[in-house]
Amino acid sequence: MMARGGMEGKKRQMSDRTDSGQLMLHIQRPWPEVMVARNSPTTIGRGSDCDLRLQVLGVSRHHAELIRDEEGLWRIRDLGSKNGTQINGTFIGNIPVPLNDGDLIEFARVRSQVKVSKKGHESDDQRRSSRNPGLTTIRSASELQNSWIAGDKSEQAVQRLQYLMDLSKKLGRASGVDEVFKAVSDAVFSDIQGVERLALLVDSESSGKLVPLCAVRKNQPFESDAEWISRTICDHVYSGQVALKTVDARKDNRLSASGSIHKKGIRGAMAVPVWDENQVFGVLYADATLPVDHWLEGHEEDITFFSALGNLMAYSVRRTLLAERLQDEERIRNRLLRYHAPAVVNQLLSGSNLDRERLIPKECEISVLFADLVPFTELSERLGPADVADLLSAYHEEMLGEIFDRNGTLDKFIGDSIMAFFGAPDPAADHADRCIDAACAMLSRLHHLNTQKLLPYPLQMRLGISSGPAVVGDIGSTQRIEYTALGPTVNLAARLESACPPKQILICDTTYQRLSEDRSEKFIAFGNQHFKGYRPTSAHLSIE
């Protein structure tokens, strides 16, 4: 009786262990995923004919096989894979080995945990997987790049390969991002059923933030509205470098946790990284509103073809973005050269002072110079407009060279007056010395022009200089913007210029205190100057 009871107990234990309708593999990479084996045998590998596909680097096309024996016990055997199959850290061969709850299987570098369920006792995960097989497909994007072309020789795959070759030629001739995106969107809408909208998002500033670059709805022109895009999906794809396809994102807790999936009504979606060599710089995203069954048909072929399109467009997008950036830089350079010396412009373009083609306004310590011709008003009354323009052009060209030679910045020409400053955007502790050097050089240059009669008429000049804080940067409206300096320091320099005798330089005490000894020796006290809105200002005049 004891032997019989023991035998019956052993049978009951075996029945509890093996009487399972299906086996679940909890895949741990590239993203947690559940694969269910229901039939025997079940093949595992990268091949398109495998029952459970693992498109991960190192997994063979036909890697392993799951078998359920006559007693209902699940077993596994290796199919001669290149990198082998391990159970709980031990390699197995082609002889089937029994599986138990909790066993850890490793296919190359893919780890999975086994869960065997009894009949009639399916877990919640199993029920969800049974009702929504393939609800979300996630693959390592880098390993998807060539897997479809190499592993799938179906008629549809061959046709799509030819399509990619033709598309590659078209993208090579594209002159802009919009043209590249138009060619890719045509391919997506015509070859992947169910896609209703398509968008390209890029991280152009390498900040980790994706910005919509192009978006289009099927059979409609480009649209500016990008609210329909799931940032949750795009961020997962971009940061994880995975390709994703979901038939109903609302039923996937990994995607719907943020709440935006439900708020935007997102169901079916596909997203793949956009690569340039080894760098991911964007995401190609598509959504659809078709039934689940439609999306489940050929889901692997669609996601791999979509990934191939993303890879193909990457070079063209990167190339056109670079060309546009170079054009922007050239436009910025030409504008900056109106104000700054070439060396300063190069520093600005290589630094972080620019924000969307603008020099960000900030407070700087500078020295400001105002130069004015005297008596220019009387002279201009005797000359015609053309003669005045020629005279000022020649004068400004000569004076600007002296300013730029000392890394000064031209603020503006105001009729016959010149406003310039030193110490911004290129910070310089000796900005006062540079400003004085430029002012002295300007007087000397004008004297040379007069004595050599290189100007149509002899001219005289006076200069005012002050030093201190000022707000410097691009200031203005969207219609008109200019790089300028603002503040009391600027206004004081203008007042000093108006009080200065011809052929001399009048500076404030702050500038005088900042000068090196050899330069300060060129100035004498000029007494307190009284200007409206200012306290009495101690000034110093240059020695002729």
Number of independent structural domains in the chain: 3
| DSSP 3-state of 458 | coil
Residues 59 and 175 in one domain: no
| pLDDT tier at 372, thresholds 50, 70, 90 | very high
| DSSP 3-state of 412 | strand
Instruction: For residue range 129-139, list pLDDT tens digits in order.
Output: 334 444 566 65
Task: Judge whether residue 406 has pLDDT over 60.
Answer: yes
pLDDT of residue 254: 64
Residues 395 and 522 in one domain: yes
pLDDT of residue 13: 40
Residues 311 and 250 in one domain: yes
Residue 343 tokens read as: 């060396």
Is 334 within the bounds of a domain?
Answer: no
Q: Residues with Cβ < 8 Å from 485, sequence gap 6 or more?
A: 364, 366, 368, 411, 421, 424, 470, 471, 472
Residues 115 and 157 in one domain: no
Q: What average pLDDT does range 286-301 have in this prediction?
A: 60
Instruction: For residue range 79-89, list pLDDT tens digits in order.
Output: 999 889 998 88
- Under 8 Å between Cβ of 101 and 76: no
Higher-scoring residue by pLDDT: 506, 391: 506
The mean pLDDT value of the chain amounts to 78
* Residues pairing with 409 in the sheet: 340, 421
pLDDT of residue 384: 83
For helices 431-451 and 385-404, give the axis angle rounded to 10 degrees. Answer: 140
Half-sphere exposure (Cβ direction) of 358: Cα atoms closer than 13 Å? 16
pLDDT of residue 365: 97
Burial class (CB in 10 A: 0-12, 13-18, 19+), 532: exposed
Among 1-5, 80-84, 536-540, the range scoring the smallest mean pLDDT is 1-5
Q: How far apart are CA 101 and CA 104, in angstroms?
A: 9
Among 51-55, 194-198, 224-228, 372-376, the range scoring the smallest mean pLDDT is 224-228
Is 176 within the bounds of a domain?
Answer: yes
| pLDDT tier at 419, thresholds 50, 70, 90 | very high
Residues 94 and 235 in one domain: no
Q: What average pLDDT does range 421-425 have in this prediction?
A: 92
Task: Judge whether residue 489 has pLDDT over 90.
Answer: yes
Is 384 within the bounds of a domain?
Answer: yes
Going from the C-alpha of 283 to that of each of 198, 218, 233, 234, the distances in angstroms are: 11, 19, 10, 6
pLDDT of residue 445: 94
Domain that holds residue 37: 17-131
- Under 8 Å between Cβ of 213 and 282: yes
For helices 155-172 and 299-336, give the axis angle rounded to 10 degrees. Answer: 10
Is 281 within the bounds of a domain?
Answer: yes
pLDDT of residue 126: 39
pLDDT of residue 125: 41
Residues 147 and 127 in one domain: no
Residues 294 and 375 in one domain: no
Angle, CA 133 vertex, CA 296 and CA 32 arms, to 5°: 110
Task: Judge whether residue 19 has pLDDT over 80.
Answer: no
- Under 8 Å between Cβ of 407 and 385: no
Residues 305 and 227 in one domain: yes
Going from the C-alpha of 527 to that of each of 238, 370, 509, 512, the distances in angstroms are: 68, 20, 10, 13
> Phi, psi at residue 272, to the nearest 5°?
-135, 150
pLDDT of residue 511: 97
Residue 423 tokens read as: 């110490």
Find the DSSP H helices in 405-476.
Answer: 431-451
Question: DSSP state, 250?
Answer: G
| DSSP 3-state of 445 | helix
Among 73-77, 112-116, 361-365, the range scoring the smallest mean pLDDT is 112-116
Q: How far apart are CA 66 and CA 471, in angstroms?
A: 73
Find the DSSP H helices in 215-252.
Answer: 231-240
Residues 127 and 148 in one domain: no
pLDDT of residue 14: 38
* Residues pairing with 66 in the sheet: 42, 76
Task: Judge whether residue 447 has pLDDT over 70.
Answer: yes
Higher-scoring residue by pLDDT: 4, 243: 243
Q: What average pLDDT does range 427-455 have in this prediction?
A: 93
Is 5 within the bounds of a domain?
Answer: no
Q: What average pLDDT does range 370-383 have in this prediction?
A: 85
Residue 221 tokens read as: 């022109």
Q: Name the range with the highest mean pLDDT among 226-240, 243-257, 407-421.
A: 407-421
Span between the terminal Cα atoms of the chain, in Å: 130
Is 11 within the bounds of a domain?
Answer: no
| Percent with pLDDT over 90 in the chain | 26
CATH code of the domain containing 292: 3.30.450.40
Is 256 within the bounds of a domain?
Answer: yes
Q: What average pLDDT does range 53-58 have in this prediction?
A: 76
| pLDDT tier at 366, thresholds 50, 70, 90 | very high
Residues 125 and 148 in one domain: no
pLDDT of residue 291: 53
Q: How far apart are CA 505 and CA 472, in angstroms?
A: 24
Task: Judge whether residue 6 has pLDDT over 50.
Answer: no
Residues 486 and 407 in one domain: yes
Is 536 within the bounds of a domain?
Answer: yes
Higher-scoring residue by pLDDT: 187, 158: 187
Q: How far apart are CA 104 and CA 120, in angstroms?
A: 24
Domain end, chosen from 88, 104, 131, is at 131
pLDDT of residue 9: 43
